[in-house]
Amino acid sequence: MKNRKLLMIPGPIEFEPEVLRAMGMATTSHVAPNFIETFGKSLEMMRDIWMAPNGQPFIVAGTGTLAMDMAAANLIERGDNALVISTGYFGKRFKDILDRYGANTTILESNVGEIVPIDAIEKELSSKQFKVLTITHVDTSTGVLVDPKPIAELARKYNVLCILDGVCSVAGEEIKQEEWGIDVVLTGSQKAIGVPPGLALLVASQKAMEVWENRRTPVSSYYSDWNNWLPIMRAYEERRSSYFGTPAVNLIVALETSLKIIGAEKIANRVEKNKKLAEAFRAGIKALNLEILPKTEEIAANTLSAIYYPKDIDGAELRSRIAHYNIIVAGGLLSEIKASYFRIGHMGSVSSNDLISVLSALEMALLELGHSFESGKGLQAFQDNLLASNEKLSTV
Ligand code: PMP
């Protein structure tokens, strides 16, 4: 395709042509039988992807931030204690949102490129009764991956609701919401779910719904209030029409298409494939004498990589040279180090072909700018790593 650019930022991502075609379908009424079926089916499929067979799914027009807002607005009452476990920019955003609804928020912030030690989390939880804690599964500003499982266990031990910001992880990293006992897992459509921006997606546990039902005070956000949205979700799942705010018809048709694609591949296979590609990609990056932001492999996200620029290279110049080879990557986001790193998204239907193109463009741009490494090493490391993991798979 002439002039085709590969969008490799951490959301929005490259979307499947089938999903984009679904977006372009003639818009039907939001109460038409075909749309009622699409909406109902999408809610059902979310439970499979989130691995929350008894969870309550919500699909609402908005972005990932609205899903965060919805969790906070419905679960927080003025004066409640909240604990934010932060590994970057989006942890701080959750604190701002919780504070806005009157929470008394404590934030535990990791060092850049690290996670918050589990002991520090337990120490905080044992110091007073918290109502909720939040985890950013993958903070898109740092590319750090947090293992939510042991934190969710602690939340259960201390009777705290556990909210997972999965905007950069749902359908890209392993999540077993119900088995791990997570009360809310939320995301936005434009990331690993694979649908253009515009949908806030959230699944709440039965426990979260009970806590919400037993509130002493009304939810102070009108648009986010589950009182408005729960009857709508229930109606569509029972294949009845209902109305509160006009659903984003075309986006939901696209969502059904994408969830079917993910479902056909099976979520566990998709996550595994993504992990393999990400590991090979990181091997390629390191072979170019580049340093990634997460301090260890174990906490490096599989949905994106945050990479430091070489010391002697101008970041904006590097990104513009990569763009010259038709690959679009993102700059830094974390204010303290914004100018010293860049980010490459690799989630959704990303393929080895995409990553080969990215590594090749990156190599050429680095060579042009005089960075020292052996030409071809990045691609070689990527291929070797992928071959080795394929071999491992075939012998299992
Ligand atoms: N949380 C995380 C981890 C994110 O990556 C983002 C978006 N980059 C958000 C929240 C906010 O989502 P949105 O931009 O869709 O509002």
Cα distance between residue 55 and residue 68, in whole Å: 17
Mean pLDDT of 193-206: 98
For ligand 1, atom 14, name the residue with the nearest CA: 64
pLDDT at residue number 2: 72
Q: For residues 73 and 221, what is the distance between their CA atoms, to the nearest angstrom?
A: 6
Grade residue 396 by pLDDT with cuts at 50, 70 and 90. Answer: very low
Residue with more model confidence, 205 or 390: 205
pLDDT of 1 higher than 80: no
The CA 90 to ligand 1 mean position distance, Å, reads 7
Neighbours of 119 (CB within 10 A): 8
Best CA proximity match to 93, nearest among 105, 81, 76: 105
Helices (H), the chain: 17-23, 33-50, 64-75, 89-100, 118-125, 148-157, 177-180, 206-213, 226-237, 249-265, 267-287, 315-324, 352-368, 377-395
Which ligand 1 atom is the nearest neighbour of the CA of 200? 15
- The pTM of this model reads 0.97
- Which residues, 6+ apart, have CB-to-CB distance to 275 below 8 Å? 302
* pLDDT > 90 in the chain, percent: 97
- Does the structure show a pLDDT above 70 at 209? yes
- Residue of higher predicted confidence among 394 and 17: 17
E strand or H helix at 109: strand 104-109
Please write the tens of the pLDDT for every residue from 129-152. 999 999 999 999 999 999 999 999
- The mean pLDDT value for 101-123 works out to 98
Pairing between β-strand 81-86 and β-strand 104-109 as defined by DSSP bridges:
parallel
346-358 pLDDT tens trace? 999 999 999 999 9
Kindly list the strands in the beta sheet with 184-188, ordered across the sheet, starting from the edge strand earlier in the chain: 56-61, 199-204, 184-188, 161-165, 132-136, 81-86, 104-109
User: Ligand 1 pocket check: which of 60, 66, 90, 193 to mutate, most ligand atoms within 8 Å of Cβ?
Assistant: 90
Residue 135 CA to ligand 1 center (angstroms) comes to: 13
Tell me, in angstroms, the distance from the centre of ligand 1 to residue 188's CA.
7
CA of 165 to the centre of ligand 1 (A): 8
Contact between residue 166 and residue 195 where contact means Cβ atoms under 8 Å apart = no
Give the bridge partners for 138, in sequence order: 145
- Enumerate residues lining ligand 1, CB below 6 A: 11, 63-65, 90, 136, 139-140, 165, 167-168, 188
Which residue's C-alpha comes closest to atom 8 of ligand 1? 140
- Give yes or no for a contact between 167 and 67, defined as CB atoms under 8 angstroms apart: yes
Tokens 């395709």 — which residue?
1
The first and second tokens of residue 247, run together, are 């659903």
277 CA distance to ligand 1 middle (Å): 23
- The Å distance, Cα 394 to ligand 1 centre, comes to 36
What average pLDDT does the segment 273-280 reach? 97
Q: How far apart are CA 18 and CA 83, in angstroms?
A: 41
- Residue 395: predicted pLDDT: 54
DSSP assignment of 156-188 equals HHTT-EEEEE-TTTTTTS---HHHHT-SEEEEE
Q: pLDDT tens-digit profile of 232-253?
A: 999 999 999 999 999 999 999 9
Confidence band, pLDDT 50/70/90 cuts, at residue 394: low
CA–CA distance, 155 with 157 (Å, rounded to integer): 5
In tens, the pLDDT along 105-115 reads 999 999 999 99
Distance (Å) from CA 357 to ligand 1 centroid: 26
pLDDT at 393: 61
Other beta carbons within 10 angstroms of residue 325's beta carbon come to 16
| Mutation to probe ligand 1, out of 13, 97, 135, 168 (largest number of atoms < 8 A from CB) | 168
Q: What is the mean pLDDT of the chain?
A: 97
Cα distance between residue 273 and residue 285, in whole Å:
18
Cis peptide leading into 53, omega within 30 of 0? Answer: no
Q: Which atom of ligand 1 is nearest to the CA of 137?
A: 3
Q: Which atom of ligand 1 is nearest to the CA of 139?
A: 3
Q: How confident is the model at residue 391 (pLDDT cuts 50, 70, 90)?
A: confident
Rounded to 5 degrees, φ, ψ at 58 are -130, 135
DSSP letters spanning 294-356: SSSGGGB-SSEEEEEPPTTS-HHHHHHHHHHTTEE-EE--SGGGGGGEEEEE--TT--HHHHH
How many angstroms separate the alpha carbon of residue 301 from the centre of ligand 1? 15
Q: What is the model's pLDDT at position 3?
A: 78
Quick one: DSSP state of residue 283?
H
